[in-house]
Amino acid sequence: MSEHIRKLLQSYRQGEIDEEEIVQRLVRQPFEEHLIGRFDQTREARTGIPEAILAEGKDPVAVADIFRNYLERDAFLLATRVTPAIVEGLSELIERLQYFPHARIVATSMPEPDLRRSTVLVLSAGALDRPVAEEAVITSRLLGNPTEFIADVGVAGVARIATELGRLDKCGILIVVAGMDGVLPTFVGGLARQPVIAVPTSVGYGASFNGIAPLLTMLNSCAPGTAVLNIDNGFGAAVLATKINLLLVDRSA
């Protein structure tokens, strides 16, 4: 249950609001109107994943407005694909926010990891895949997962991953990010017992077709049980890993 709903219930128990006001807020007004859309206030309570915005292409003034609102309410919000214009628009707030330039993410806070969850391990094939991998790493941490990162272990130098196999064994969920031929998730999936979430990137020469080639490779993986996300979607991979983790925690409670 989200912190927002917990605070409402606490206010009700203390007699600060009545039952009708709770109904009004949770049922009749589940969405909060802003310049850039209708924000779903009960998303985290329903799905376990808090509200997030794709900042790229949005009005910097509107993005700053929504962050200001969430800071005032001490509520959690994250924005992905943050552009220089968005960062400039947040300049007056940036000291109160968590900004991750390599991942292109801004958030209102960085929660402590939930140690009941399995560790999420993100592997990146090459240096140019790193921005997408960083997006997965930071999003995973912002969503409360213990998260580790291993970079530059692509199959062009396959011996590089051999020294990291022990770390794979200690983790619960693997996110594997690769462009070019996109083979790394299949290689890892053939070694690991954990769920493998594959993320193709748009990195590569002309025949990679901006990520279509690694996407097709991953979809045709001969390592069964590999989940494949859209091109460059590190955020979505972290969300999927979080949902797996939340399910495991709920069932063990």
pLDDT category, 103, cuts 50, 70, 90? very high
Q: 112 in a domain, yes or no?
A: no
- The closest of 81, 76, 107 to 93, measured between CA atoms, is 107
Regarding whether 71 and 18 lie in a shared domain, the answer is: yes
Residues 31 and 86 in one domain: yes
C-alpha–C-alpha distance, residues 237 and 136, integer Å:
6
Residue 64 lies in a domain: yes
Tens of pLDDT, residue by residue over 37-73, are 555 666 666 777 888 889 999 999 999 998 998 898 8
Q: What is the pTM (predicted TM-score) of this model?
A: 0.83
pLDDT digits (tens, 9 = 90+) for 138-197: 999 999 999 999 999 888 887 788 788 888 888 999 999 999 999 999 999 998 889 999
Checking if the pLDDT of 78 tops 70, the result is yes
Let me know whether 80 and 46 are in one domain: yes
CA 122 to each of CA 105, 108, 128, 133, 196: distance values in angstroms, whole numbers, following the listed order: 17, 23, 15, 7, 10
Tell me what pLDDT residue 1 has: 42
Q: Do 88 and 127 share a structural domain? A: no
209 in the same domain as 241: yes
Residue 206 token pair: 């002309």
Listed in sequence order, the residues at least 6 apart from 53 whose beta carbon sits closer than 8 Å to its beta carbon are 36, 37, 63, 66, 77, 78, 79, 80
Range of the domain at 97: 3-107
Q: Would you say residue 211 lies in a domain?
A: yes
Same domain? 147 vs 202: yes
